[in-house]
């Protein structure tokens, strides 16, 4: 079964072709970072308009790369939520129209389930059950995963997601959007002994996160440096290092706690922040001590992409799920509402 996947939940237009027998055949991604950077964040109307411009050319590109025609496609999967409602509508409308015109089924896919299953695109895949850390600009969650669709939320951010906290810390330092990569680059030159930022909520029981206090601590540190004189480039590097290590340290502690609580030895990490090299190295080192393993997608599949939507859609389409009725998108959509699947297709 050949699935066309379309991702348009926020500021990236992703398209991919996934075959349940042959794997990922082709994929393409267009990032809107250059459009939104001058505003310091995503402008929903601009995001929707750019998805309209880019989606069809990317579909044509991917089909040409895979050397396939419309007659080869068996179904179309698209992101139905969560996300920006206008951006979701663009993808859903286009996907449903293509599926209707080609005479094939379509299916709306949960964006975070796509992220959660993205490591399944790799040759070395995790086995169920496992704990998943979903960490991105919009979500920070720990989820127990017993099978596709069998999800139990263990903990989540009570305020900003980790990626959003990176963006806001970067803004305090005068860095462009998106902040995560810029913070990471500065952190490499930072002095690890100069600042020690707090690890939020690690000294209390539970698996929830909070990054609001860390943001305030970061802002106070920036202001203290300015009060003592000019905020130097080295000041920025040292603050970036302390901030990144605080976020990474918090995530590592919570992941280890979740694995111990659930009696599991496998962690899956996905979402844009999962591309952070410090986070990957720290998790691998910590879990090695616990005789546990961490799996994550290739860097190109950490951010939003069509491949994860095509793969997640393939699993549910193979289980007989299809769109019913009109084009419905869900800007808010708890993963716990998804029905389970007992068998993985490809």
Pick out the residues of the known binding site for Fe cation.
111, 115, 304
For 142, residues 6+ apart whose C-beta sits below 8 A from its C-beta are 131, 132, 133, 134, 153, 154, 155, 156, 207, 254, 255, 258
- Binding site, annotated residues for substrate: 134-138, 167, 180, 276
CA distance 316 to 333: 17
In 3D, which of 38, 32, 35 has the Cα closest to residue 13? 32
Torsion angle, CA of 273/317/8/72, rounded to 10 degrees? 120
SS3 at position 204: coil
CA distance 333 to 337: 8
SS3 at position 258: helix
- Binding site, annotated residues: 111, 115, 134-138, 167, 180, 276, 304
CA distance 162 to 135: 7
SS3 at position 267: strand
């Amino acid at each position: 079964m050949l699935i066309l996947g379309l991702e348009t939940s926020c500021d990236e237009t992703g398209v991919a072709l996934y075959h349940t027998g042959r794997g990922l055949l082709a994929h393409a991604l267009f990032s809107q970072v250059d459009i939104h950077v001058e505003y310091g964040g995503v402008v929903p109307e601009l995001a929707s308009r750019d998805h309209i411009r880019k989606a069809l050319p990317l579909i044509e590109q991917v089909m040409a790369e895979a050397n396939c025609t419309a007659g080869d496609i068996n179904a179309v999967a698209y992101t139905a939520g969560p996300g920006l409602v206008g951006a979701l509508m663009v993808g859903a409308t286009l996907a449903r129209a293509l599926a209707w015109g080609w005479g094939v089924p379509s299916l709306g896919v949960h964006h975070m389930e796509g992220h959660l299953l993205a490591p399944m695109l790799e040759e070395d895949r995790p086995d169920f059950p496992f704990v998943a850390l979903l960490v991105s600009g919009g979500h920070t969650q720990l989820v127990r995963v017993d099978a596709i669709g069998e999800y139990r939320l263990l903990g989540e951010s009570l305020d900003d997601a980790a990626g959003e906290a990176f963006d806001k810390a970067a803004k305090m330092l005068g860095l462009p959007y998106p902040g995560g990569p810029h913070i990471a680059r500065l952190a490499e030159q930072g002095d690890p002994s100069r600042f020690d930022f707090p690890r939020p909520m690690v000294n209390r029981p539970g698996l929830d996160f909070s990054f609001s206090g860390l943001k305030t601590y970061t802002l106070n540190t920036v202001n203290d440096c300015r009060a003592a004189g000019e905020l130097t480039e080295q000041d920025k590097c040292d603050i970036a290092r302390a901030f990144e290590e605080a976020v990474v340290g918090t995530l590592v502690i919570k992941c280890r706690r979740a694995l111990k609580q659930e009696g599991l030895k496998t962690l899956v990490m996905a979402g844009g922040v999962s591309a952070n090299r410090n986070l990957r190295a720290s998790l691998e080192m910590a879990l090695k001590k616990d005789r546990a393993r961490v799996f994550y997608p290739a860097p190109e599949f950490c951010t939003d992409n069509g491949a994860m939507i095509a793969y997640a859609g393939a699993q549910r389409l193979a289980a007989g799920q299809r769109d019913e009725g009109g084009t419905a998108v869900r800007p808010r959509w708890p993963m716990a509402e998804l029905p389970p699947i007992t068998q993985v297709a490809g």
